[in-house]
């Protein structure tokens, strides 16, 4: 039996037994490379579920849909390892109760689909810890290495050019499971903290503010990068920040549901190299 069939059967069982009220998975998209989220509430619909190597988006953010988990019923969700990490971050930030989530785990390293054993966040934690050294395929290591070799002036110009393309559509924010605030600071205009116009300064402010906001929280799922209509390589900023956070604070986002947010906590022996 294929993994897709196996997981359709699993979804049917979960729904018909009443163990979950909904399964969030993937359905056919506009072409073979695209998959769209599917929200299934009856066993009869489960044959619409698709699972293949094109299922790359992180579906964890849909769990925060207003009211979805407020009745304390359970929801099953198809997740890759980055999605499980996202659940841990969201639980650590008190956005959801992982006891309400049933994980249908899978991965597709190098395009090869494989099932992941387990169903609870706890069962996946050891797996994620084992993945700590693994760089997600979305990370763009080669491009990052090229940028690392640039002088600060060249790097500034590189990002200036990339950010000049930004049209402030906020698709990156909408696609990110970690951007769950009902009202984002960039939408506030009294006072207006971040310039809303799409020009060099405003674009820098937006993208840098966002990169800091995601530091130690980003799980490198690539949702933002794929959502950007002008192809700004957002994964490179996120990857770089993740590396810095790991090297400076030994913090890898999403390895536990009680992990403290790295930029909202401190240890007495944290290095203070920025204080002269
Ligand atoms: S910033 Fe991008 S890569 Fe990081 S968690 Fe959000 S969507 Fe995923
Ligand atoms: S998705 Fe791209 S263009 Fe839209 S706001 Fe984000 S960085 Fe800018």
What is the tens place of the pLDDT at every residue in 232-243? 999 899 989 998
Residues 104 and 166 in one domain: no
Distance between start and end Cα atoms, the chain: 63
Last residue of a domain, one of 130, 159, 176: 130
- Residues 213, 96: one domain? no
Answer yes or no: is 79 within a domain. yes
Do 111 and 60 have their domain in common? yes
Residue 267 has pLDDT above 80, yes or no: no
pLDDT by residue (tens digit) across 116-169? Answer: 887 788 777 777 666 555 445 545 778 888 888 999 999 999 999 999 999 999
- Count of the separate structural domains present in the chain: 2
Q: What is the CA radius of gyration of the chain?
A: 20
Between the CA of 170 and the centroid of ligand 2 the distance, in Å, is 5
Percentage with pLDDT > 70 across the chain: 94
Pocket of ligand 2 contains residue 130 by CB under 6 Å: no
Where does ligand 1 bind, in terms of residues with CB under 6 Å?
Answer: 58, 175-178, 214, 218-224, 238
DSSP string, 203-268: HHHHHHHHHHHTTTT-----HHHHH-TT---HHHHHHHHHHHHHHHH---TTS-TTPPPGGG---T
Residue where a domain stops, chosen among 96, 130, 164: 130
Whether residue 168 has its Cβ less than 6 Å from ligand 2:
yes
The mean pLDDT of 1-11, rounded to a whole number, is 93
**19 & 125 share domain:** yes
Atom of ligand 2 nearest to the CA of 228: 1
- Domain-located, residue 149: yes
Return the closest-CA partner of residue 233 out of 159, 157, 174, 125: 159
Average pLDDT over every residue of 190-212: 85
- The answer to whether the CB of 179 is under 6 A from ligand 2 is no
**95 and 167 together in one domain:** no
| 172 shares a domain with 216 | yes
Q: Is residue 268 part of a domain?
A: no
Would you say residue 196 lies in a domain? yes
The whole domain housing 51 covers 3-130
Residue 200 pLDDT exceeds 90 = no
**147 in ligand 2 pocket by Cβ < 6 Å?**
no
**In terms of domains, do 125 and 141 share one?**
no
Same domain, 66 and 175: no
Is 271 among the domain residues?
no
Query: Where do the H-state alpha helices sit in 101-185?
Result: 121-130, 141-148, 152-163, 171-175
- Do 39 and 69 belong together in one domain? yes
Q: Which ligand is nearest to the CA of 230?
A: 2
Tell me if 226 CB under 6 Å of ligand 2.
Answer: no
Higher pLDDT, 229 or 248: 229
Distance in Å, CA 39 to ligand 2 centroid: 26
What are the angstrom distances between the C-alpha of 71 and each of 19, 20, 65, 67, 262?
14, 12, 13, 8, 31
Q: Tell me whether residue 265 is in a domain.
A: no
Q: Do 111 and 172 belong to one domain?
A: no
Question: Residue 78 above 90 pLDDT?
Answer: yes
From 108, 130, 152, the end of a domain falls on: 130
Q: Which strand (E) or helix (H) includes residue 31? A: none
The residue whose CA has the least distance to atom 2 of ligand 1 is: 224
- d(CA 176, ligand 2 centre) in Å: 12
**Does 22 share its domain with 101?**
yes
Distance between CA atoms of residues 107 and 233, nearest Å? 23
Ligand 2 neighbourhood includes 21 CB (under 6 angstroms): no
What's the Cα-to-Cα distance from 275 to each of 81, 209, 248, rounded to whole Å?
37, 22, 15
Same-domain check for residues 110 and 203 = no
What separation in Å is there between the alpha carbon of 179 and the centre of ligand 2? 14
């Amino acid at each position: 039996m294929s993994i897709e069939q196996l997981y359709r059967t699993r979804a049917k069982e979960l729904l018909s037994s009443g163990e979950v009220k909904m399964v969030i998975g993937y359905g056919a998209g506009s072409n073979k490379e695209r998959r769209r989220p599917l929200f299934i509430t009856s066993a009869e619909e489960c044959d619409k579920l698709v699972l293949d190597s094109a299922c790359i988006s992180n579906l964890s953010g849909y769990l925060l849909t207003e009211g979805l988990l407020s009745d304390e019923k359970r929801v099953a969700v198809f997740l890759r390892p980055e999605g499980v990490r996202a659940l841990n971050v969201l639980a650590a930030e008190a956005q959801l109760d992982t006891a309400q989530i049933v994980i249908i785990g899978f991965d597709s390293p190098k395009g090869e689909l494989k099932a992941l054993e387990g169903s609870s966040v706890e069962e996946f934690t050891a797996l994620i810890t084992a993945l700590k050294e693994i760089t997600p395929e979305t990370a763009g290591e080669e491009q990052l290495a090229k940028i690392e070799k640039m002088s600060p002036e060249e790097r500034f110009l590189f990002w200036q050019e990339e950010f000049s393309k930004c049209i402030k559509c906020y698709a990156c924010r909408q696609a990110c499971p970690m951007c769950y605030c009902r009202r984002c600071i960039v939408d506030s205009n009294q006072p207006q903290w971040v310039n809303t116009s799409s020009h060099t300064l405003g674009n820098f402010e937006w993208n840098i503010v966002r990169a800091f906001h995601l530091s130690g929280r980003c799980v490198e799922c690539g949702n933002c990068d794929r959502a950007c209509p002008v192809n700004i390589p957002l994964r490179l900023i996120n990857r770089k920040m993740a590396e810095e956070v790991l090297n400076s604070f030994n913090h890898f986002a999403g390895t536990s549901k009680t992990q403290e947010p790295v930029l909202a906590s401190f240890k007495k022996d944290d290095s203070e190299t920025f204080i002269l």
